[in-house]
């Protein structure tokens, strides 16, 4: 039940031994038979193969591919037609498509076909050729759903790796921006793209990331959301340590500073690492807005952060333990409202907080046509009617609504749940000894946060421990006055030019 | 023991803490004013609690129709705190003194000197705030609290908050919280002034200046039944005299530890003495107190009070604003009048009280190296009563409101 409490004794490593490589045969028919067995060609309807005689050598040629994940026009124009019509010395002269890879064994053949390539076998040749004709279906570039901005680009990542890489390259034109590929998964091998600027990124962090990717022993890691959970250090932690963003512009900002971005084919988001608290707390719009307004937004967000974390807990602590802190007018108003409420104040708060979480959860899951129901049910029944029925006091509605509403100001989809969960933690703590236990819990919470590391980088850096950085912590500087790259990730070139 | 069971044990312990002193708001009654009266028996006092009724007036459409906004109960006990438990014999909820606004003591108790014994509890308990105001009433405190029925601010906390704030802002009563009481009483050098109030409206004095009253004789028709005016003078915790509103104002302007807003007051019209000139008296700078301490001689105390005045009414219609000569006469007359009044009060405090209500002992303290030396020198017995005191009021700014000329009477009535 609590695996983190058990000591780690054995690491599983059973899946990797049974690989002995089968080399490609000289006889094309033998290859043909082997492949067709391997891919269950009889049952697999979208597994296609084509046999033809190449004009340039007058030999039999077999082409294998999955028809569902390739561009058929490309196959016809780029492979079949040249083979049938063109003359030349070798296959490289005949097939002029951009990528042509030589492969020697069947493991590679399988990988290539699975990732949407066409593989060509030539009679009498022990080398097979793989040609990139992949076309996985994906939607186009759309607006990011969860990270909206008013001022700034509206493009979001999409579920196609090539498009995502392109969106990043579009924002940073530099020859040393590298899109390194790693394959993860044992049964289904999927590509992960590591993007970084070679002459900025810290090699230790890069090595660390590569190692973690290699150490994944799962059968299949199909998306970046799952990958995040495979490579993070503390899966039981309440705080995220890898930044998840839907915005290519935000990811590109990090690449420029020497961070590493991970992309995958099936996710409309990228992972940025190493991440600090500040990267979750900031929003890309903070930089797009002009200096004053950007910082004004920061103030609002900090305020919202404090309110959503502590308002309910403080309310419990103050009313249950320190009634002398409340101004008399408010005190008498709350008291008179509470006189007819049958449940303790602590339960009142919990009920409303849970109700708010229910509305939120239902709001996400509810089918679109039923959307407006949530508003009616939520606002009328839970708010007004419950107060009128005397189940809860009106002030609780204000407190819960305030703490619920402000939680939306924490835009980041990873940090937001942390804050919401912490809120419940604080509510419970406040109900034990009031402010005393609330403050104790808050101190422990902050201590814990500052103990976290993301790929070796402290969570609160560059604030604590202090590093030279562009000073974008609580508030940001004027763009022209940002002189340093974030020191905590040890970029090779620390000084920014402005 | 593995870590899982440790976690479970910790969780179990956390359920044992029992939430310490947690209490719901509606299980408490909030005492707004405490009255203390003398009884015939020594060591016993009558304690009166005025409790706010949260259901009246705090929420629109709230319940409690027909209920009083407050409940006033009196019982006999040895001190305030233990009386709160006795009171639970007839008050249904726990009495909380956290929100007390005022401690009301009767003149009888204050004069008897027993007050210090009873109020002593306020320094120990954390329930009574240091900011609670002390009020001395002419009648027994119980009577005052029962008779005090404000017409507008029916909720008691609001009444005391507003009443005390405003009246002390303009200086007709002093700002006298428990903290200041202990500071002055334990300092054993100065006099403590507490607001003087009553609900017994007696003979009504007429024809004096606007603040020459003490509570009970302010000419009043209609309105609330209680008056706050003037101050009770407490020496070493015992009441010795009552100052009227005017004297209280003078005392407060001479005291640098108290902030006053602009005070509207009237002064003699030097040219047409039948009328009075009205203006707003402002003290923006501190009173300068220079004490020339002589160990074996007469100590000299020089007081300089800088003040500003904005004249807004000259009923005699004498041209003071443009006629420089007149202006000078007015300036001189006002300064003299203020000095005269202050001298009377200072003389009274030197001769009658043997100490002063202006907190001037603060300025003599830097003549001594140790507390012991200062205590031996004895401000209120040896230094102050024999000191030679010069007081000077200095009008630093004289303004005449937004219109320079008054109505020309002879032109209007031609």
Residue B99 distance to chain A (closest CA, Å): 6
Mean pLDDT of chain A: 88
A chain contacts of residue B93, beta-carbon cutoff 8 Å:
none
| B194, B129: one domain | yes
| B298, B213: one domain | no
User: How does pLDDT run across B339-396, given as a tens digit for each residue?
Assistant: 999 999 999 999 999 898 999 999 999 889 999 999 888 888 888 888 999 999 999 9
pLDDT given at position A496: 82
Name the token pair of A426. 């604080």
User: How does pLDDT run across A86-122, given as a tens digit for each residue?
Assistant: 888 888 888 888 788 888 888 888 888 888 889 998 8
Instruction: Tell me the CATH number at B321.
Output: 3.30.300.210
Residue B20 covered by a domain: no
> Cβ(B100)–Cβ(B132) under 8 Å?
yes
Residue B129 covered by a domain: yes
3-state secondary structure of B5: helix
| B371, B303: one domain | yes
Q: What is the mean pLDDT of residues A443-460?
A: 93
Q: How many CB atoms are closer than 10 A to CB A156?
A: 22
Q: Rg of the Cα trace of chain A? A: 29
Please list, in sequence order, all residues whose beta carbon lies within 8 angstroms of the beta carbon of residue A43, skipping any fewer than 6 positions away.
none
| B240, B357: one domain | no
Whether B20 and A332 lie within 8 Å, measured CB to CB: no
For B250, phi and psi rounded to 5 degrees? Answer: -60, -45
B205: pLDDT confidence band, cut at 50, 70 and 90?
low
Whether the CB of B96 is below 8 Å from some CB of chain A: the reply is: yes
Candidates A410, A362, A404, A423; CA nearest to A238 is A423
Candidates A129, A133, A44, A61; CA nearest to A92 is A129
| B147, B222: one domain | yes
Give me the number of domains chain B comprises: 2
User: How does pLDDT run across B83-98, given as a tens digit for each residue?
Assistant: 889 999 999 999 999 9
Q: How far apart are CA A442 and CA B402, in angstroms?
A: 57
Whether A332 and B157 lie within 8 Å, measured CB to CB: yes
pLDDT given at position B261: 79
Q: What is the DSSP secondary-structure string of B54-77? A: TTSSSSTT-S-TT--SEEEEEEEE
Q: What is the mean pLDDT of residues A135-157?
A: 90
Q: How many CB atoms are closer than 10 A to CB B58?
A: 22
Residue B22 covered by a domain: no
Whether the CB of B153 is below 8 Å from some CB of chain A: the reply is: no
pLDDT given at position B63: 56
| B189, B311: one domain | no
Q: How far apart are CA B332 and CA B268, in angstroms?
A: 11
| B269, B241: one domain | no
Domain limits for position B114: 27-245
| B332, B209: one domain | no
A382: pLDDT confidence band, cut at 50, 70 and 90?
confident
Residue A69 distance to chain B (closest CA, Å): 49
Whether A321 and B21 lie within 8 Å, measured CB to CB: yes
Whether A323 and B28 lie within 8 Å, measured CB to CB: yes
Q: Which range among B13-27, B74-88, B149-163 shows the weakest confidence by mean pLDDT?
A: B13-27
3-state secondary structure of A235: coil
| B272, B414: one domain | yes
Q: Long-range contact list for A80-85, CB < 8 A, 24+ apart?
A: A80/A50, A80/A52, A83/A52, A83/A54, A83/A55, A83/A56, A84/A52, A84/A54, A84/A55, A85/A55
Q: Which domain-ending residue is among B245, B276, B308?
A: B245
Whether A333 and B28 lie within 8 Å, measured CB to CB: no
Whether B63 and A337 lie within 8 Å, measured CB to CB: no
Residue with tokens 């043997």: B354
| B364, B403: one domain | yes
3-state secondary structure of B318: coil
Whether B25 and A323 lie within 8 Å, measured CB to CB: yes
With a pLDDT cut of 70, the percent of chain A lying above it is 96
Length of chain B: 414
Residue B298 covered by a domain: yes
Higher-confidence residue of B358 and B202: namely B358
B chain contacts of residue A338, beta-carbon cutoff 8 Å:
24-26
Q: How far apart are CA A323 and CA A304, in angstroms?
A: 25
A chain contacts of residue B158, beta-carbon cutoff 8 Å:
328-329
B34: pLDDT confidence band, cut at 50, 70 and 90?
very high
Whether A5 and B52 lie within 8 Å, measured CB to CB: no
B chain contacts of residue A336, beta-carbon cutoff 8 Å:
54-55, 58-59, 62-64
Residue B251 covered by a domain: no
**Which of A333-337, B119-123, B143-147 has the highest average model confidence (pLDDT)?**
B143-147
First to last CA, chain A: 53
Residue B61 clears pLDDT 80, i.e. is over it: no
| B100, B231: one domain | yes
Check residue A384 and report its DSSP letter: I
Residue A1 clears pLDDT 50, i.e. is over it: no
| B239, B267: one domain | no
Whether A432 and B14 lie within 8 Å, measured CB to CB: yes
CB contacts < 8 A (A, B): 89
pLDDT given at position B14: 67
Residue A11 clears pLDDT 50, i.e. is over it: no
Whether B17 and A432 lie within 8 Å, measured CB to CB: yes
Whether the CB of B224 is below 8 Å from some CB of chain A: the reply is: no
Percentages (nearest 5) of helix, strand, coil residues in chain A: 50, 15, 40
- Output the 3-class SS for A36-49: HHHCCCCCCCCEEE
Whether B25 and A335 lie within 8 Å, measured CB to CB: yes
Q: What is the mean pLDDT of residues B272-295?
A: 89
Q: How far apart are CA A212 and CA A458, in angstroms?
A: 18
Check residue B235 and report its DSSP letter: E
Write down the ipTM of this complex: 0.85
pLDDT given at position B126: 84
A chain contacts of residue B26, beta-carbon cutoff 8 Å:
335, 338-339, 341
Whether the CB of B138 is below 8 Å from some CB of chain A: the reply is: no
A chain contacts of residue B161, beta-carbon cutoff 8 Å:
328
- Sequence ranges of the domains in chain A: 28-132, 161-275, 290-454
Residue A464 distance to chain B (closest CA, Å): 30
């Amino acid at each position: 039940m609590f695996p983190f409490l058990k000591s780690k004794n054995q690491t599983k490593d059973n899946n990797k031994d049974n690989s002995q490589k089968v080399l490609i045969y000289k006889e094309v028919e033998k290859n043909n038979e082997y492949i067709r067995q391997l891919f269950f060609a009889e049952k697999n309807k979208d597994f296609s193969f084509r046999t033809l005689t190449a004009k340039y050598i007058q030999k039999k040629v077999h082409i294998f591919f999955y028809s569902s994940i390739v561009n058929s026009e490309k196959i016809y124009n780029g492979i079949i037609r040249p083979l049938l019509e063109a003359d030349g010395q070798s296959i490289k002269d005949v097939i002029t498509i951009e990528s042509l890879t030589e492969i020697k064994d069947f493991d590679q053949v399988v990988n290539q076909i699975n990732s949407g390539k066409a593989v060509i076998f030539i009679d009498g040749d022990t080398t097979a050729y793989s040609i990139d004709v992949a076309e996985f279906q994906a939607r186009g570039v759309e607006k990011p759903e969860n990270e909206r901005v008013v001022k700034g680009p509206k493009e979001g990542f999409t579920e196609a790796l090539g498009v995502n890489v392109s969106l990043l390259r579009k924002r940073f034109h530099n020859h040393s921006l590298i899109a390194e590929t790693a394959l993860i998964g044992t049964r289904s091998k999927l590509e992960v793209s590591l993007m970084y600027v070679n002459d900025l990124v810290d090699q230790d962090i890069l090595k660390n990331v590569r190692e973690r990717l290699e150490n994944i022993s799962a059968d299949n890691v199909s998306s970046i959301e799952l990958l995040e959970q495979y490579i993070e250090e503390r899966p039981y932690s309440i705080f995220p340590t890898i930044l998840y963003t839907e915005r290519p512009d935000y990811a590109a900002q990090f690449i420029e500073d020497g961070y590493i971005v991970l992309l995958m084919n099936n996710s409309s988001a990228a992972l940025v690492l190493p991440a600090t608290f500040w990267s979750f707390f900031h929003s890309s719009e903070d930089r797009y807005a002009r200096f004053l307004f950007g910082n004004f937004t920061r103030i609002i967000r900090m305020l919202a952060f404090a309110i959503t974390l502590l308002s309910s807990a403080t309310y419990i602590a103050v009313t249950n333990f320190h009634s002398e802190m409340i101004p008399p007018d408010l005190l008498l108003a709350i008291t008179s409202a509470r006189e007819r409420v049958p449940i303790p104040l602590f339960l009142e708060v919990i009920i409303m907080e849970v109700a708010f979480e229910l509305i939120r959860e239902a709001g996400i899951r509810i089918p679109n046509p039923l959307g407006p129901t949530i508003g009616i049910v939520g606002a009328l029944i839970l708010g007004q009617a419950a107060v009128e029925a005397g189940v809860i006091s009106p002030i609780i509605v204000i407190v819960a609504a305030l703490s619920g509403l402000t939680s939306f100001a924490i835009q980041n989809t990873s940090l937001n749940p942390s804050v919401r969960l912490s809120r419940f933690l604080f509510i419970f703590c406040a109900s034990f000894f009031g402010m005393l236990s609330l403050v104790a819990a808050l101190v422990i919470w902050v201590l814990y946060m500052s103990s976290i590391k993301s790929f070796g980088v402290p969570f609160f850096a560059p604030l604590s421990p202090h590093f030279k950085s562009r000073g974008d912590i609580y508030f940001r500087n004027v763009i022209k006055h940002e002189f340093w790259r974030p020191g905590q990730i040890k970029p090779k070139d620390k000084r920014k030019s402005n | 023991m593995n870590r899982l069971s440790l976690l479970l044990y910790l969780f179990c312990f956390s359920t044992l803490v029992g939430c310490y002193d947690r209490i719901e708001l509606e299980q408490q009654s909030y005492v707004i004013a405490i009255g203390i009266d003398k009884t015939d028996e020594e060591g016993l006092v009558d304690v009166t609690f005025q409790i706010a009724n949260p259901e009246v007036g705090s929420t629109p459409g709230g319940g409690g129709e027909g209920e009083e906004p407050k409940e006033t109960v009196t019982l006999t006990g040895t001190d305030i705190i233990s009386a709160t438990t006795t009171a639970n014999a007839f008050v249904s909820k726990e009495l909380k003194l956290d929100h007390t606004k005022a401690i009301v003591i009767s003149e009888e108790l204050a004069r008897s000197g027993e007050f210090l014994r009873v109020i002593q509890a306020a320094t120990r308990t954390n329930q009574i705030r240091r900011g609670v105001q002390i009020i001395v009433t002419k009648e027994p405190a119980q009577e005052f609290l029962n008779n005090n029925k404000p017409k507008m601010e029916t909720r008691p906390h609001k009444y005391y908050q507003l009443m005390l704030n405003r009246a002390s802002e303009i200086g007709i009563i002093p700002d006298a919280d428990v903290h200041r009481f202990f500071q002055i009483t334990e300092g054993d050098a100065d006099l403590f002034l507490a607001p003087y109030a009553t609900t017994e409206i007696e003979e009504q004095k007429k024809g004096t200046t606007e603040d020459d009253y003490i509570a009970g004789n302010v000419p009043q028709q209609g309105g609330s039944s209680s008056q706050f005016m003037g101050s009770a003078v407490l020496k070493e915790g015992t009441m010795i005299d009552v100052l009227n509103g005017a004297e209280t104002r003078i005392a407060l302007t001479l005291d640098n530890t108290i902030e006053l807003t602009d005070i509207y007051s009237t002064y003699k019209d030097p040219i047409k003495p039948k009328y009075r000139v009205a203006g707003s008296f402002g003290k923006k700078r501190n009173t300068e107190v220079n004490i020339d301490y002589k160990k074996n001689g007469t100590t000299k105390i020089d007081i300089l009070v800088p003040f500003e005045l904005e004249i807004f009414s000259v009923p005699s219609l004498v041209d003071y604003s443009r006629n420089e000569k007149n202006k000078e006469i007015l300036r001189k007359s006002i300064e003299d009048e203020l000095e005269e009044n202050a001298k009377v009060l200072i003389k009274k405090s030197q001769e009658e009280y043997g100490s002063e209500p202006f907190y001037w002992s603060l300025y003599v303290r830097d003549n001594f190296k140790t507390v012991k030396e200062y205590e031996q020198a004895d401000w209120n017995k040896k230094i102050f009563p024999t000191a030679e005191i010069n007081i000077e009021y200095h009008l630093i700014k004289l303004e005449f409101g937004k219109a320079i000329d008054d109505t020309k009477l002879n032109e209007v009535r031609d």
